[in-house]
Amino acid sequence: MQAKPPHSLPVLDIQHATVYRGDTCVFADFSFLLQAGEHAAIVGPNGAGKSTLLKLLSGEVHPLALDETRLCLFGQERWSVWDVRKHLGLVSHDLQRDYLICAEGLQVVLSGFYASNDTYDHQTFTQAQIARAYEVMRELRIDSLAGRMFGHLSTGEQRRFLLGRALVHDPSVLVLDEPTSGLDIKACFQYLDLLRTQIHKGKSVLLVTHHLHEIPPEIERVVLIKSGTIFADGPKTELLTEENLGRLFDQPLTLIQANGWYQALPV
């Protein structure tokens, strides 16, 4: 039987996962499926388990080894860190914190090839890899900043470099953790514009957030999670209601919508 190409297999298939962080059971019997080519926004309040889900994908945390538990990436139950890096472009806030402030922009993007927090003497880069890094920086409009130190860049510019780091492998899926938090309106809109370009180029996007305004119109599926449990999963147009979001965040709110974008306001 011919093996299916990775792009036609489900990106992510989690079945019956129970996950602990320290003594806290974050997920009990958690299941989630993301098909190839699909986009989804996982929306939940602080402490819902969003970061834990991302760490499950990056291999930083593991589910309990129960008979009924399955965790497949691109159809594979066992994957190497290398496979994850190549197929999943992970952009998380931890990176922004951990990054060496003296790394130059180009090094930040190149470090994606090694999933490290800087480039080091023992790492070598081919001309093709360097050319790819410049291609990504041009696409993200940060090529003129290639020689600037990461610590001397604005938060918006830093975010774009971290997106570049994730894109350098040309992964089929981008996984983003609250990508625009901390950005001003212009930087936020610029970032979302770049993200939408990636979606239009065919990348799947899994966005984890508690900010409704950063869910681009192209992401049509939302998964509402609270206390490690999915309480709704389906079309954004049906699930993003004042009632559902009020229950999700334990906070009455007014929901506004324009051109496929959403925003929550106080009542």
- Decide: is 16 part of the binding site for ligand ATP (CB under 6 A): no
Structure tokens of 188? 């936020």
- Decide: is 97 part of the binding site for ligand ATP (CB under 6 A): no
Taking every pair of Cα atoms in the chain, the longest distance, rounded to a whole number of angstroms, is: 58
Q: Do 111 and 148 form a contact (C-beta atoms < 8 A)?
A: no
Which of 13, 40, 41, 50 binds ligand ATP (CB under 6 A)? It is: 50
Q: Nearest-CA neighbor of 169 among 96, 111, 104?
A: 111
- Decide: is 147 part of the binding site for ligand ATP (CB under 6 A): no
Element containing residue 53 per DSSP (H, E): helix 50-58
The residue count for binding ligand ATP (CB under 6 A) is 13
Nearest approach, Cβ of 19 to ligand ATP (angstroms)? 9
Site for ligand ATP in 209-238 (CB under 6 A): 210
Q: Nearest-CA neighbor of 95 among 184, 177, 192, 215?
A: 177
Nearer to ligand ATP, 36 or 57 (CB): 57
- Decide: is 24 part of the binding site for ligand ATP (CB under 6 A): yes
Nearest approach, Cβ of 44 to ligand ATP (angstroms)? 5
- Decide: is 22 part of the binding site for ligand ATP (CB under 6 A): yes
Nearer to ligand ATP, 20 or 114 (CB): 20
- Decide: is 63 part of the binding site for ligand ATP (CB under 6 A): no
Q: Do 192 and 117 form a contact (C-beta atoms < 8 A)?
A: no
Which of 11, 12, 14, 26 binds ligand ATP (CB under 6 A)? It is: 26
Q: End-to-end CA distance of the chain, in Å?
A: 58
- Decide: is 52 part of the binding site for ligand ATP (CB under 6 A): yes
* Dist. CA 198–CA 218, nearest whole Å: 11
Q: Nearest-CA neighbor of 242 among 257, 230, 227?
A: 257
The binding site for ligand ATP (CB under 6 A) comprises 21-22, 24, 26, 44, 46-52, 210
